[in-house]
Amino acid sequence: MAEERTHKSGYVAIIGKPNAGKSTLMNNILGSKISITTHKAQTTRHQIVGIFSDEDTQIVFLDTPGVISPKYELQKAMMKTVERARSDADIILFIHDPTDKYPTDDVIELIKSINKPVFLVVNKMDAANQEEAEKSAQAIQDKMKIRSVHYVSATMGTGVRELMENVRSSLLPGPPYYPKEDLSEHPVRFFVSELIREQIFLQFHQEIPYSCTVEVVSYDADIDIDRIHADIIVNQKSQKGILIGKKGSAIKELGIQARESIEEFIGKQVYLELHVKVREKWREKEGWVRNLGYGK
């Protein structure tokens, strides 16, 4: 008879520069899209808690916003979540994009002071040159202590299973923190607002996506259909017109795409109503940043 494995559990923080592939990696591990991903940097604003469970393991992932130097209140709140991950995590996954030409010194400085095992996850190996990737990994190892190096492609899923086994072997025995069927501790309405926000990133350009946030005003779940009303909050008046578009064309398209992705996520029909509200310079005002759910 096969020997039973001891149940292990722990918290793992995924830390890296914006656009290194943190959210893609977590979505791949969980086999479900719980973290929004776009080709634009700084899409993730909240600390997304993703829960991986199998028979003898539970790993709670803290997917943090990319490490940046904060310029306004919203970014300060984002950096607080990085700090929280530093204190909560048992293991740090330092996710690194070897195709990124800019130095990773900010991240190295942040992680260096933490006395916890650090796994260097060299991502985007489907696009990177192996030799170059190894060279950039070595440069990081020269600057800080690394437990082990993993070359993965979060998009393709290569190297992820080996990474997970290595993480598991570093965890201590312990019971699960959450019910095994849970994928996250966030409520459904949180993911609804994130999926709407993702569509704003996909459909609008320049400053617009970074100036918006989404507030779910009401969520009525019925047997056949969920009715959702949400406000898109913009930073200044001129942005409202851009979001609505000519004769409401832009917001209509946004609503269609967002509704489809929400229906796919909850597996049910959705009625979605969107409104655009102006909150002048909300990103710079601590009260508004807190009211809209950041930095709690």
- Binding-site positions read 16-23, 63-67, 123-126
Give the Cα separation of 246 and 80 in Å (integer): 39
Give the Cα separation of 35 and 32 in Å (integer): 9
Asked if 7 contacts 174 with a C-beta cutoff of 8 angstroms, the reply is yes
> Judging by DSSP bridges, how do beta strands 48-54 and 57-63 pair with one another?
antiparallel
Give the Cα separation of 121 and 154 in Å (integer): 10
Q: What is the number of alpha carbons within 13 Å of residue 85 lying toward its C-beta?
A: 31
Numbered residues of the known binding site for GTP = 16-23, 63-67, 123-126
The residue among 281, 280, 199 whose CA lies nearest residue 243 is 199
